[in-house]
Structure 1
Amino acid sequence: MQVLQTVLLVATVVAGCSEFRLNSDRSVLSARTMDFQIDLDSTVEIIPRGTLVEEPIVKDCPDCADYAWTTTYGYVGFNMFGVNVATDGLNEAGLSAAWLYLVGTEYPVVNASDPRPVVTSLITYILGNFASVNDVRRGLRDVQVAEFDPVLGSLFSHGAHESSYPLHVAVHDAAGHSLVIEFLNGTMHLYDNPNGVMTNAPPLTTHLATLKAKGVDTIPGGYDSIARFQRLSALNHYATQAYDANTSYSVSTPEQADVSLALHLIDTVTIPEPAQAHGDATQYSVVRDHTRKKLYFKSTENQVLRTIDLGHIDFNDPSTRKSLPVTFGKWFVDVTQDALASSVRSIDMPPRSMVIAKLHGLAQQTSQLHANLDTLPSYVHPDRTVASFLMGAVVGLACAVVGVVCYRAYRHRLENHSKEYVHLA
């Protein structure tokens, strides 16, 4: 028992990946980081309906029979090692599935006498066959889920020398339901996850018990699995609090606001390369829009957000099966020419003396108003309603006067010094 606890403690430090469903009453979004020590050589690939999928080889089962199936739903997946084995993705029904690392995982032993086929590429299987969390629950009864042989990685990647891939699965659907699949003590466990957050070890039930004990009022730092789970849970709890209305920094559509918020949260658990001693570095991040059927992604050194709109893909067309590396695209947006072509510019400040003189005049007017207010009948004084109204009017007038002074000074200086006419809308 003590050895197991030590292993799990170490696992919280060395294993990465974080995943959550955004707490939003407008639409359903989820996001994740892909953190791993080995290079997954990830690609984002369009998989049409009717694509034939051969299941990977099974660990410790060289005699397991071949099993192939065809996709019912088209999807966009993130494949590893350039092979059609998805680690993450979103399908046309708005269902997502994601693998995350979970030390302590113990997969079921394959039963040779069981007529059910053996599935090892679980994310691919979920994305290609199911439309909802309930579909996943029902559909997984018809197969045996096993671990794929880690030799698969070494066949396609020189840097992959893992002896095991202990993984658990996060699933979200377009209705906002979340499911976690874990393999513990040789048994598959399926949990509803209304909290919507998943990281790594320990198992989900332990994370939820810790969250219940600690609450969401404390936001921990650190990159270990427990800290990332607590941090995402706390930040996500308050995600429905909107920015102040009518501000210059929050002018967006609801879609942009939702995606931006998901990015803000997932960025709090992104692990940079220099912090790799505290966990696996983040290779890429994903935001999934289950409502609008869009997938957004960015890689560790290409932070420009890219998107694939599943609604614009004909999943009945086999020729749409195409892939891109997660690093694809320009890593910056050059706006030099846009800046040079802009007709907008700031207003120059007038001399200090002009502003001070005007403010001095306003101060004298305010002082006189105070004196006049003190002569009002005594019945007004208890709540100062009239006085409060008049003071508000004075403050508003003062702000307007300062604005006019700045504007007139600006126009005067332009006419006398630059001889340039600038029309201000």
Structure 2
Amino acid sequence: MCTAITFATKDHYFGRNLDLDFSYNETVTITPRNFKFPMRKVDDLSSHYAMIGMATVVEDYPLYYDAINEAGLGMAGLNFPDNAHYFADIDGKNNIASFEMIPYILGQAKTVDEAKKLLENVSVSAEVFSADFPTATLHWIIADKEKSIVVESTKEGLNVYDNPVGVMTNNPPFPIQMYDLNDYYAISAHPLEHKFGNGVSLHEYSRGMAGLGLPGDLSSKSRFVRAVFTKYNSMCDDDELSSINQFFKILGSVEQVKGLCEVTPGKYEYTIYSSCMNQDKGIFYYTTYGNSDIHAIDMHKVDLDGGKLSIYKLNKKLSVSYDN
């Protein structure tokens, strides 16, 4: 399971936690404008917007988990089990495999509105990448510097929802997640005057009691509520270091610690990496479970007119700075 968020100070940021019980050897990968994306059912993308993101590269093909393009449009795929449904080829539609969705959208769209236009004729194909990489059950968040949407392919077809809170997790479907925020109507980051009953003497014996009821478990519904609450009450300066630090703090409020969520006997889901992408500057920041240091890769420091991928292995080893 995972959590994705948008965030804005002076610049605009997009990123996610990847929560799984195993790793596919992810790398930060820059795809330049003239790298050829072979497409299974539509014309190949031979020329497109450059992009940077986290991907597993298989036979020189970047299977992106999350990315932004050079225009600042971001997109991430998150697990959507039991609800995601992909289709056999439909005549008259652009049949796009789930693993092609990120390059297909980010390669051609600069904004959410342009992405919506592309999605009008898309059907998510059940085509698999290979026998070693079966189809993942995904839904997607797409965000530019002003707005975001959620894209869900279900048995009813392709659904595109406006996302006014700029947060997405997993199940249930997005409209239900948004409606369920109403259950937390009374929660606040500020002290409240109690309304338990006239004449009943009550007092706050601890700071933060106005947040009683905010969920703290690891379910996708609870992470959605907590991420929205944390994002909307978060405060920081608007410089780059303050912004990215705060972004990772927001994601940290919903990160998964190894050992708390058993998937199969002896295997536990945990936050493998967290990403933060500056949509204005094209910089990809990340931390890993084993290394909380923030690392950065700038897409504009490579030749974006080239035709070859630039791949950066993750720094997973923690270093300690001794002060005495």
Q: Identify the residue that residue 371 of structure 1 maps to in structure 2.
A: none
Is this contact kept in 1: 2:34–2:306, CA < 8 A? no
Please state if 1:169 is matched with 2:146.
no
Alignment counterpart, residue 105 of structure 2, candidates 126, 145, 153: 126
Q: Is the 8 A contact 1:71 1:129 kept in 2?
A: no
CA distance in 1, matches of 2:163, 2:322: 43
Name the SS for the 1:208 alignment partner.
helix
Gaps of 5+ in 1: 1-15, 57-64, 157-161, 243-251, 340-425
The answer to whether the Cα contact below 8 Å between 1:195 and 1:233 also exists between their aligned partners in 2 is: yes
Number of the residue aligned with 1:144: 123
Contact 1:67 1:117 in 2 (8 A): no
Greater shift after overlay, 301-310 or 119-128? 119-128
Show CA shifts across 1:18-68 (max 9, x none). Answer: 01112x453211221011234222111110002111236xxxxxxxx5752
Q: Measured at CA, do residues 310 and 324 of structure 1 come closer, stay the same or move farther in structure 2, by a change above 3 Å?
A: closer
Change (3 A) 1:148 1:109: closer
Instruction: Give the counterpart of 1:155 among 129, 132, 137.
Output: 132
Contact preservation (8 Å) 1:40, 1:81: no
1:79 to 50, 55, 64: 55
Contiguous gaps of at least 5 residues in structure 2: 189-210
1:237 and 1:207 map into 2 onto residues whose CA distance is 16
2:68 — aligned with what?
90
Letter in 1 for 2:274: S
Q: C-alpha distance in 1, partners of 2:95/2:154?
A: 21
Cα distance, 1:81 vs. partner?
5.6
Distance 1:289 1:253 in 2: 13
Q: Does 1:210 align with 2:180?
A: yes
Residue correspondence of structure 1 range 314-393 to structure 2 within 5 A: 314-319=303-308, 321-327=309-315, 331-332=318-319, 334=321
Shift of 1:298: 1.4
CA distance in 1, matches of 2:136, 2:75: 17
Give the structure with the larger helix fraction.
1
Provide the C-alpha distance between the structure 1 equivalents of 2:84 and 2:295, rounded to a whole number of angstroms: 36
Q: Is the 8 A contact 1:44 1:78 kept in 2?
A: yes
Q: In percent, how many aligned pairs have the same letter?
A: 22
TM-fit CA distance, 1:94: 0.8
- Residue 51 of structure 1 corresponds to which residue in structure 2? 35
Distance in structure 2 (CA, Å) of the matches to 1:273 and 1:115: 42
Distance 2:238 2:151 in 1: 34
Secondary structure of the structure 2 residue equivalent to 1:182: strand
CA RMSD, aligned part only? 2.4
* Cα distance in 2, alignment partners of residues 115 and 223 from structure 1: 38
Which structure dedicates a bigger proportion of its chain to strand? 2
Paired residues of 1:286 and 1:296 also in contact (CA < 8 A) = yes
Give the aligned partner of residue 244 of structure 2. 259
Paired residues of 1:119 and 1:146 also in contact (CA < 8 A): yes
Secondary structure of 2:52 counterpart: strand
SS in 2 for 1:171: strand
Matches of 1:90 and 1:116 in 2, distance apart? 22
Greater Cα offset, 137-146 or 287-296:
137-146
Alpha carbons 2:150, 2:163 under 8 Å: kept: yes
In the TM superposition, what whole-angstrom CA distance separates every residue of 1:229-270 from its partner, at most 9, and x where no partner exists? 11111111111x34xxxxxxxxx7711111111011101111
Q: TM-score, normalised by structure 1?
A: 0.63
In structure 1, what is the Cα distance between the partners aligned to 2:302 and 2:89? 40
Q: Distance in 1 between matches of 2:4 and 2:78?
A: 8
Q: What SS class does the counterpart of residue 285 from structure 1 fall into?
A: strand
Which residue number in structure 2 is paired with residue 367 of structure 1? none
Counterpart of 1:327 in 2: which secondary structure?
coil
Relative contact order: is structure 1 or structure 2 higher (C-alpha 8 Å, sep ≥ 6)? 2
Question: Partner amino acid for 2:108?
Answer: N
